[in-house]
Amino acid sequence: MRPFTAADAAAVDAVLDAAYAGDPVLREISAVHAQPRGTLVAEAGDRIVGVGTLVESARHPSRRFLAGAVLPERRRQGHGSALLDALQQESDRRPLLARVRDLDDPGGRFLRAHGFALLMRNVTVVVDPASVGAWIEAHRGDVGRPRSNEALALAHEDAYRRQHATWSPATERPLDESLRIFCGTSLVEAAVADGGVASLHGAPFAERSDELALVAGAANEATARMLVAHALERANALGKLLSIEADEADAPMWRIAHEVPHVRAAALVLLATDVTSPPAAT
């Protein structure tokens, strides 16, 4: 076990490629070793077989995020446990947060064996809007345009804080950063309605060129459904699929994501070391 150096980059990338083959989302989430932060690598002989990093989050400073991987053929040999133990010895004892796929039983068992418990479920569904015309018609309503980019960014920040309030309260984000995230080059168009906001984004929010990603939040379910219907209608007009993401704590979007027929879906579970029971959806 030793600290990561720049010379390790290719070997660590190979570990991540093998560990997350076919899962570009988790591959990207886990690729944090090259940034200025504490990363450790596990070696067997002269080969790097695992990597682990504790990541700071300016929005959620009460926890640190654990990112890491071990080569598939080197699992169940103690490398992951050794990495986690070494990282925890160097940490400031804040609780840790980690993500795994809901179907990743070995990953989930490993984390639970090391003191992690369920914090939140997350799902992303991809919908073909051309196939859900009846759903769109049932929930269509009047939406407007945001008054300005600043108003759009602030509406998204309000929605973000509301969605995370019960399970991972967020700090304030500088307006220029909000503008970069929500109103940057990925933005296609946006809509607002009573107590809600929705934006359509291309890459990097959308994973594929034939998709748009919906970033949305609403204070009530009727508004959420109206905004999702509008987003589906616009995506259809642009000839794109629509990706919809929802956390379990955001009950309206969670129900919509599970209700709208989709062409594919992926789910994540977030686990943390300070959880006694997951928060109820609101």
| Residue 67: CATH number of its domain | 3.40.630.30
252 and 146 together in one domain: yes
In the structure encoding, which two tokens stand for residue 66, read together? 């654990």
User: pLDDT tens digits for 159-218?
Assistant: 999 999 988 888 999 999 999 999 999 999 999 999 899 999 999 899 899 999 999 999
70 backbone φψ class: left, alpha, beta (φ>0; ψ -120 to 50): beta
| 187: CB partners within 8 A, 6+ apart | 199, 200, 201
145 and 241 together in one domain: yes
The neighbour count for residue 4, using CB atoms within 10 Å, is 20
233 and 189 together in one domain: yes
85 and 129 together in one domain: no
Give the model's pLDDT for residue 36: 55
133 and 13 together in one domain: no
171 and 230 together in one domain: yes
| Residue at a domain's end among 75, 94, 113 | 94
Closest C-alpha to 100, from 79, 83, 117: 117
The answer as to whether 217 is a domain residue is yes
Is residue 260 within 8 A of residue 127, CB to CB? The reply is yes
76 and 188 together in one domain: no
Work out how many domains the chain is built from and give that number: 2
Average of per-residue pLDDT values in the chain: 91
User: CA of 259: how far to CAs of 96, 112, 227, 233, 255, in Å?
Assistant: 32, 30, 15, 17, 6
Closest C-alpha to 143, from 92, 206, 204, 194: 194
Give the model's pLDDT for residue 210: 96
169 and 252 together in one domain: yes
In the structure encoding, which two tokens stand for residue 257, read together? 């994501």
143 and 74 together in one domain: no
Give the model's pLDDT for residue 277: 58
CA of residue 265 relative to chain centroid, distance:
14
The answer as to whether 112 is a domain residue is no
The answer as to whether 166 is a domain residue is yes
168 and 68 together in one domain: no
Domain housing 13: 2-94
18 and 130 together in one domain: no
User: pLDDT tens digits for 89-136?
Assistant: 876 888 999 999 988 888 899 999 999 999 999 999 999 999 999 999
The neighbour count for residue 74, using CB atoms within 10 Å, is 19
170 and 212 together in one domain: yes
Residue 252 has pLDDT above 90, yes or no: yes
pTM: 0.85
